[in-house]
Amino acid sequence: MGKERDNMFLDVKGLSISYGDIRAVQNVNFYMEKGELISIIGANGAGKTTIINSLMGLVPVQSGTIIFKGQDITKMPAHKRARIGIRIVPERSRVFPRLTVYENLLTGMYGMKNKVSPEKSILQLYEIFPILKERKNQLASTLSGGEQQQLAIARALVSEPELLLVDEVSTGLMPKLTQEVFSVLETLNKEHQLTILLVEQNAFVSLEISTRGYVLETGQCVLEGPATFLMDNTRIKEVYLGH
């Protein structure tokens, strides 16, 4: 890659993951610098969700290493990764439907130390997500799909993480709502300097707000580069952007 990878914020080397006899991810390498917004794009079943779940500690790594802020976290359990600053926004929002918006936000503090004030953090999030302030006393089940996705993102942010992992945030959303959610992610990255890793099937929208991107096919990284380079790549346009 021609890039010095010492002291990277996140450095993933030789990542391989299997489910029984099925090799889901094969020797994947990628890195992130602090403050970047990176996309991993690929078709459904390419291994994107497996990668993001491995970073959170939700699936075991067969081989390879995950280094976060200079620390090897490859075998660290998920709850400890959350405590050192990694949080995930799972696919299809997965909010608690019978809790209010405010109660859902409080669940984002579960297991955290006292260094973060929930009330202060939630007030700051209401500024970023004004619709959640309006709906704070409503049950999450009454929110639209786009609003539930914003709630899922906000819940992950309550604990003030340093790295936000976002899994297929556009799934099930209409184009207008997809743009709204991606606009929020762009604001979090550019105005709040939050480091974000997106895995997305919706290549164009995710690359539009990204610094760099990686293309995944059948568990392998086949192309990488600046987002503008990938968006101009003929093969990417044909396969992922429909051009």
| Cα separations in angstroms, 211 against 35, 139, 147, 178 | 10, 36, 26, 19
Predicted pLDDT at 202: 85
- What is the average pLDDT value for the chain, to the nearest integer? 89
On whether the CB atoms of residues 238 and 64 are closer than 8 A, the answer is no
Q: Token pair 């539930």 is at which residue? A: 148
The model's confidence at residue 241, banded by pLDDT at 50, 70 and 90, is low
On whether the CB atoms of residues 199 and 49 are closer than 8 A, the answer is yes
Which amino acid appears at position 26 of this protein? Q
What tens digit of pLDDT does each residue of 1-47 get? 345 555 689 999 999 999 988 999 999 999 999 999 999 998 888 89
Q: What is the CATH number of domain 10-94+161-239?
A: 3.40.50.300
Q: Is 227 helix (H, G, I), strand (E, B) or coil?
A: helix
pLDDT-wise least confident of 112-121, 202-211, 216-225: 112-121
**Domain locations along the chain:** 10-94+161-239
- DSSP E strand stretches across 50-193: 63-68, 71-72, 86-89, 163-167
For the entire predicted model, the pTM comes to: 0.90
What is the rounded average pLDDT of the residues 161-169? 93
The H or E element containing residue 175 is helix 175-190
